Structure 1
Amino acid sequence: MALRTTTTERQRRLGAELRKLREQAGLTVSDGGASIGMGRVHLTHVERGHTAISTDRLRALCGTYGCTSSTYIDALVSLSEAKGKGWWSSYKGRLSPASLDLAELEASADELRSYESLFIPGLFQTEAYARSIFQASDTVTTPEAVETAVRFRIQRQSVVTRENPPAIHAVLHEAALHVRFGGTEVMRKQLLHLVALADLPNVTIQVLPFTSAAVSAINTPFCLLTSHTGALETVQMDHPAQAVYLHTPDATSRYRRQFELLRSTALPPVDASLTPAKHESRDSLGLVQYVLYTL
């Protein structure tokens, strides 16, 4: 079987999980390969995401490594058998592989928890707001590229309202409400859109006010994606050079704790169903409305 010239995050993740299981079992690549009639070099390519592994061999390998969690094994089988095809496939060659990886991750997610410090999260952006961001970018340099990036971002948002959508919990720093991408009118419509989205049963939006000094050290936006009935977690972060994906237990645990700190420190969630009289204390909706008033 020919080796893949490029690998997706899903393919790399499967290989990383198999390598982790092997190392936990205290076995060498040769040991693991021999247990399923596969050579050392072949299994090395599997662990690097460069080639596929059959479902039967994958299940047998999990048995060799002493893995007994049927939920986890089924998650690995799902990663292995997935074709990686979806609406995002039409953007191949026009957008970065990391962008396509993110769309594929979101499509299989059961839960998304994110923190943003300067931007409204991509899944919540209006078309005009998204366009203004890309127009200001130094990486999207032509009008055609801007429109492609905008269309892709808007299509990603289908995950929010699809059938059986993931639970989405976003914490936004107050600064994201004030940075006026696209000008006053664009920002006003964006904030109103944010309030409308918070009315969806699967969406929770909280604002972290400037006064929350206790979490000032958490200054890097991130998204924690949980999939396959909680069996797999991935931390995704955007950086100027490239997107970063983390999935080691230490990394996911750390960002889970960070999100819990952000969630517990932020103002109560946006809830448009509350009447003004019931806003007895500061909450996220009140802060959004205050910013709208000052625009």
Structure 2
Amino acid sequence: MGLRTHPTQRQRRLAEELRRLRESTGMSATEAGSHADLGRAHMSHIETGRTGISEDKLRRLLNAYGVASKPLVNELVEMAQPTGPGWWSRYTDAVDSRACDLAELESTARAHRSFQWVYVPGLLQTPAYMRALFESGEPDTSTARRERYAEFRQRRQRVLHGPRPPRFHAVVHEAAFHMHFVPRDVMLGQLDHLLEMGRLPHVEIQLLPFRAPSYPATSTAPFVIFDASCPELRTVYVEHPVSASFLSERAHIAQFTTGFEQLSNVALSPLDPTNDGPRSSLRLLQHLRYLLEEAPYAGP
């Protein structure tokens, strides 16, 4: 079997964790490989995601590394199983590899924690809202390609409506609803959709108002924390203007996890149709609706 040219995010994440575990023991690749009948070159390919590893050899490596956590062992074994092409592979004509990696991660995570301050999170967008974003952000792209973008994003959203959906917790800054790059009626529909999504038992949406008493010193870029079945395998996805990043270093995970907790603490209470108190997300959503319906609007 040839080496992988473009390992998926899942394959890279497994490789990174195996390398981290080996390095934590102080073993060289040659020493570690001897416990599983793997040569140094083969170990190098495994630790870069360029080739897979059988369950037996993986368990032998983890035993040599002294991994005692059964959830971690089980999760790594699951990650190492061949899965075949995912549904996202059908959209490589329209989206880049990072978008496909994101879809793969969304499909396997046990929980998502998302912070956005310019847009509504992708998994919560209405079709009209996402099309308006693509039209304003990609004006030179053909209509057919933009439709493929929208189709891909709508397909990603199915993860929240399956039989075993992940927990989804979003903190969205009020600024996202004052942007005038979508028509008024589209934004109104988007607000209504957020309220409906907030009714789902596994979805929690908090709005962060301009008048929040404090603003945590966290990343100014939008990000999502993806939780696995064990905390060691959390991954953070950070959006950048040029290229998104997937972070797995323990220090980065801790920084973003703490940052999200702080954002959630200063945000309004979760969106709930029965709670329109003064510190509720519903109260702010109702105010935003009033502004859109009554105030002058300079949108497209």
Shift of 1:134: 1.1
Measure the CA separation in 1 of the matches of 2:84 and 2:173: 34
2:50 is aligned with 1:50: yes
C-alpha separation between the residues in 2 aligned to 1:260 and 1:187? 28
Residues 1:129 and 2:126 are matched in the alignment: no
Q: Provide the rounded CA distance (Å) in 2 between the counterparts of 1:109 and 1:262.
A: 21
After superposition, the Cα gap between the structure-2 partners of 1:139 and 1:103, relative to the gap in structure 1 and judged at 3 Å, is: farther
For the 8 Å contact 2:112–2:168, the answer to whether it is kept is: yes
Q: Report the secondary structure of 2:110's partner residue.
A: strand
Matched, 1:286 2:283: yes
CA distance in 2, matches of 1:135, 1:241: 19
**1:161-205 alpha-carbon deviations (Å, 9 max, x no partner):** 111111110000010121133210000000010111101101111
Distance 1:259 1:79 in 2: 26
Task: State the secondary structure of the residue aligned to 1:151.
Answer: helix
Q: Residues 127 and 150 of structure 1 are in contact (CA less than 8 Å); yes or no, is this contact kept in structure 2?
A: yes
* Residue deviations 1:192-244 (CA, integer Å, cap 9, x gap): 10111101101111011112262164321100011235552110012222110
Q: Indicate conservation of the 8 Å contact 1:16/1:47, yes or no.
A: yes
TM-score (norm. length: structure 2): 0.93
Give the alignment of 1:28-107 within 5 angstroms. 28-107=28-107
| Residues 233 and 247 in structure 1, CA contact (< 8 A), matched pair in contact too | yes
Tell me the secondary structure at the aligned position of residue 243 of structure 2. coil
Q: Is the 8 A contact 2:172 2:205 kept in 1?
A: yes
Contact 1:140 1:146 in 2 (8 A): no
Deviations 1:234-290 (A, max 9, x none): 10012222110001111111111000000000011111023xxxx442211110110
% identical aligned pairs: 40
CA distance in 2, matches of 1:144, 1:126: 18
Q: 1:210 to 1:185 in 2, by over 3 A?
A: same
Quote the Cα distance in structure 2 between the aligned partners of 1:72 and 1:280.
42
Q: Which runs of 5+ in 1 are unaligned?
A: none
**Which residue identity does 1:63 align to in structure 2?**
N
Q: 1:224 is matched with which residue?
A: 225
Secondary structure of the residue aligned to 1:261 is: helix
Contact 2:115 2:171 in 1 (8 A): yes
Q: Tell me the CA shift for residue 82 of structure 1.
A: 3.9
* Partner deviation per Cα, 1:41-63 (whole Å, 9 max, x = no partner): 11001100011111100010001
- Give 1:65 deviation, angstroms: 0.9
Contact 2:129/2:190 (<8 A) preserved: yes
CA drift of 1:140 comes to 7.2
> TM-score if structure 1 supplies the norm length?
0.94
In 2, Cα distance between equivalents of 1:246 and 1:31? 28
- What do you get for the CA RMSD once the two structures are aligned? 1.6
Structure 2 unmatched ranges of 5 or more: 293-300
1:132 to partner: Cα distance: 1.0
How far apart in 2 are the matches of 1:125 and 1:19? Answer: 37
Q: Distance in 1 between matches of 2:47 and 2:128?
A: 42
Aligned to 1:183: 183
Q: CA deviation at 1:138?
A: 4.3
Q: CA deviation at 1:109?
A: 1.3
* Distance verdict in 2 for CA 1:46–1:140, change over 3 Å: farther
Note the alpha carbon deviations across 1:53-101, whole angstroms, 9 max, x for none: 1110001000111111111011111111041533212113431111111
Match of 1:240 in 2: 241
Give per-residue Cα distances to partners, 1:133-174, cap 9 Å, x unaligned: 111224972222211110000111111111111111000001
* Partner AA of 1:14 in structure 2: L
- Using a 3 Å threshold, how does the CA distance of structure 1 residues 181 and 191 change in structure 2: closer, same or farther? farther
2:149 is matched with which residue?
149
- Mapped to 2, the partners of 1:10 and 1:139 lie a distance apart of 33
